[in-house]
Structure 1
Amino acid sequence: MKTARRLTTAGAVAVPLVLFGLIFSVLLLLAPVKPAAADCGPAVSVSLDANTKVDGYSQEQLKNAAAIMGAGKALDLSVKGQMISVMVSLGESGLRVLDYGDGPGPDSRGLFQQRDNGAWGSYADRMDPTISATNFIKALQKVEGWELLEPTLAGNKVQRNADPYHYQKYWPEAVKLVQELSDGKFSLEGSDCAIPGNSGAGDDYPWKHSPTWMQAGPGAAAASPLGMFHRECVDFALWRVNQQMGSTSAPFKFLNGNFRPDGQRLGSALTWKAGWDAKGWPTGSVPRVGAVVWYAPGAGGADPTFGHVAVVKAVKDNGTYVEEGYNGNPPPDDHNYYTRTVSSDVPSAFLYLPTQEERT
């Protein structure tokens, strides 16, 4: 089992106020904030005929997926919402209109295994693909902030099943089905349909070639649009936070100067845990893909003054996780992108996004 190599560089430095001056500080604090994604892209229309084939699925399943997508289109549901709806049906019935339930819900029926409790209409409604999908989608649209939830959590808010992560494994297939059955191909890359834990692929940091504060020299511009120094650990981590919350271009939603509601800066890695607490965002001891990894000063070999932050890239079954970040290696490889496998008990805490929760 590997643990973190020593983080010997001071890779967690935020931009000191003295280097910016009053004017730049005010600009950061007053910069317009991009609103949260409202729909993650328009709904897509269905293209399905007798010749349509998707590996692993019968014509019955494809017709049911198309009915769900069509119901979403009729309700002006976003493409993400269409994919969530297909995902939930995959997890509940395998995209089949089932005329039976299970142990916890013997009265469950249809594509979404809807209960006979009056909330989902009559038996005939629950057994009708379009009507049952319409009722599911209407319930989804009533969930506050569902667009920014992880898909499985959004589905759970409607279905209220015991395991909120039950649907997670069906998400890739739901994406594939909606893409295959839509009348025009689309991509989630770079869209506002951001999903925590699926924010980027490798070193997609926009300012990877920008000069560091040491290279730029006195008086030179070394700050990114996020208000941190280029290629520091905090700037990369804050980029990932913005990216996962649907803010992928300027003006960014979360800045060094506006992250905390109390007017203080998010600051160096030293103060990130306090910043999360001040914002009311959750923290915990279990790694979750997309969460910020927080090292207190000296923890896991982090800088003894500033500490370090990184991002969880993947979680393994053996008690380790893969973290990604910037400025986590000693010279001459400092201020560059890195990944490493770390034991889950090495960091001081994991800082979650508001759409995530600690999974034990």
Structure 2
Amino acid sequence: MQRKSLGLVALIVLPGILIGAVFSILLLLTPARPAAADCGPTVSVAINGDTKVEGYSQEQLKNAAAILGAGKTLNLPVKGQMISVMVALGESGLRVLDRGDVAGPDSRGLFQQRGNGAWGSYADRMDPTISATNFIKALQMVDGWELLEPTIAGNKVQRNADPYHYQKYWPEAVRLVLALSDGTFSLQGSGCAIPGQSGAGDDYPWKNSPTWVQAGTDPAAASPLGMFYRECVDFALWRVNQQMGSTSAPFKFLNGTFRPDGQKLGSARTWKDGWDAKGWATGNIPRVGAVVWYAPGAGGADPTFGHVAVVKEVKDDGTYVEEGYNGNPSPDDHSYYTRTVSNSVPSAFLYLPTQEEKK
């Protein structure tokens, strides 16, 4: 698809208050806005012989249903049910395999569980419900699994060499759970939140608050995070707080207190400096929930102030879906957007610490 770019709009910066950029970027897909719905603690399964999901056989759907049923029995939040389906997709393609691989020749079943006694008998590992139950019980023993990226949570149980092995299976796991469950829901909520992930959508708390254009540039018009409402920096800092378990005032991460050296987090231009000052990791590989950082002028961002967004989904074709605010031209400049971008376009991805690093 031919790349397109949007026009640029200059920024205004006041002391202690930041204005995110309306910026242009290389687009690969048209923005889409997923519908929001309520999120229950766990979902039930509704499947019969007529149930069909494109790309999956009846055998695979029955195995996915067995995983969801095991999660329901153990009162597992929907995020955990999705993680369980994701891991089974990554391990066996949702098939009960009677074989292992080079790394684990004794691995068997949906979750490729080893024959070391930790996962029960051979019959247990080959039984979809029992093997799923054993996986889920192990997941529930992982401290703080609800706040981890799905692939990291799955890896804590499976202990793969690559902790991001399951990342590409997450969108399909979400699709399958939505298709097989008996109700609608989102991933928003304390027990099943996946900030920045597909399904949460525009849950920014101040989406109806006046922008600096409407309310003026008085510091009193700033959000509780210390940024102007509905700017790229305010949305991204909201996602950071949300992923770190801070979803209401007083928020843990603020513009004025984020950096340990006393400087403000600042405009998008200085966000990587803020990450470096805090000792948080950065890199060039997109991860769900990471902040996308565009240095000034990068990818069509404002040449003075840059832009920030959040990784919503990672694809296996060298692209990712980002979400944010203030990334469209007027009159949609201060509203939520999503778009698919090549991994090579941003200047860096700013990662949040893992559960271990937060302790």
Do the structures match in fold with TM over 0.5?
yes
Amino acid at match of 1:266: L
Are 2:6 and 2:329, in contact at CA under 8 Å, matched by a contact in 1?
no
1:44 equivalent in structure 2: 43
Find the aligned partners of 1:310 and 1:57 in 2 and give their Cα distance: 34
Please tell me the residue identity of whatever aligns with 2:231.
E
Residue segments in structure 2 that go unaligned for 5+ positions in a row: 18-38
**Who is 1:53 aligned against?**
51
Q: Which residue of 1 aligns with 2:188?
A: 190
**CA 1:111/1:326 → structure 2, altered by over 3 Å: closer, same or farther?**
closer
**CA deviation map 1:110-166 (0-9, x unaligned):** 221111223222223322333322221222123233212232332222222344444
The whole-number CA distance in structure 2 between the counterparts of 1:133 and 1:245 is: 28
State the Cα distance separating 1:318 from its structure 2 match: 8.5
Q: How many residues align?
A: 331
Q: TM-score, normalised by structure 2?
A: 0.71
Q: Which residue of 2 aligns with 1:106?
A: 105
Q: How does 1:208-227 map to 2 (within 5 A)?
A: 210-213=209-212, 215-217=214-216, 219=218, 221-227=220-226
Residue 221 of structure 1 aligns to a residue whose secondary structure is helix
> 1:114-129 to 2 correspondence within 5 Å?
114-129=113-128
Say if 1:219 and 1:90 are closer, same or farther in 2 by CA, change over 3 A.
closer
Offset of residue 209 of structure 1: 5.3
TM-score (normalizing by structure 1) = 0.71
- State the distance in 1 between where 2:222 and 2:346 align: 27
CA contact under 8 A between 2:147 and 2:194: conserved in structure 1? yes
Cα distance change on mapping 1:45 and 1:251 into 2, 3 Å = farther
Distance across 1 between alignment mates of 2:268 and 2:275: 11
Distance of 1:344 and 1:42 partners within structure 2: 34
Letter matched to residue 234 of structure 1: V
Q: 1:200 to 1:262 in 2, by over 3 A?
A: farther
Residues 1:51 and 1:319: Cα distance change in structure 2 (over 3 Å): closer
CA contact (8 A) 1:95 1:111 kept: yes
Instruction: Quote the offset at 1:89 in angstroms.
Output: 1.8
Indicate if the aligned counterparts of 1:2 and 1:342 stay in contact, CA closer than 8 A.
no
Separation in 1 of the partners of 2:300 and 2:172? 41
Contact kept, 8 Å, 2:16 with 2:255, in 1: the verdict is no
Q: Secondary structure at the match of 1:98?
A: coil
User: Using a 3 Å threshold, how does the CA distance of structure 1 residues 170 and 308 change in structure 2: closer, same or farther?
Assistant: closer
Taking a change above 3 Å as real, the CA distance of residues 137 and 349 of structure 1, as seen in their structure-2 partners, is same
Judge which range, 333-342 or 220-229, deviates more: 333-342
Worse-superposed segment, 134-143 or 278-287: 278-287
Look up the match of 1:78: 77
Which residue number corresponds to residue 230 of structure 1? Answer: 229
Report the 3-state secondary structure (helix = DSSP H, G, I; strand = E; otherwise coil) of the residue aligned with 2:169: helix
Indicate whether 1:10 and 2:11 are aligned: yes
Which residue of structure 2 lines up, in the alignment, with residue 170 of structure 1?
169
Give, in angstroms, the shift of residue 187 of structure 1: 1.0
Aligned counterparts, 1:1-360, within 5 A: 9-10=10-11, 13=13, 16=16, 41-47=40-46, 51=49, 53-55=51-53, 57=56, 60-182=59-181, 184-192=182-190, 193-195=192-194, 197-198=196-197, 205=204, 207=206, 210-213=209-212, 215-217=214-216, 219=218, 221-242=220-241, 252=251, 254-260=253-259, 264-288=263-287, 290-296=289-295, 306-312=305-311, 325-327=324-326, 347-354=346-353
Rounded Cα–Cα distance in structure 1 between residues aligned with 2:167 and 2:50? 26
- Give the whole-Å Cα distance in 1 for the aligned partners of 2:42 and 2:312: 30
Q: Which runs of 5+ in 1 are unaligned?
A: 18-39
SS of residue matched to 1:350: strand
Q: CA deviation at 1:283?
A: 0.7
Residue identity matched to 2:91: E
Q: Which moved more, 1:82-91 or 1:277-286?
A: 277-286
- Structure 2 contact 280–353 (Cα < 8 Å) conserved: yes
- RMSD between superposed Cα atoms in Å: 4.1
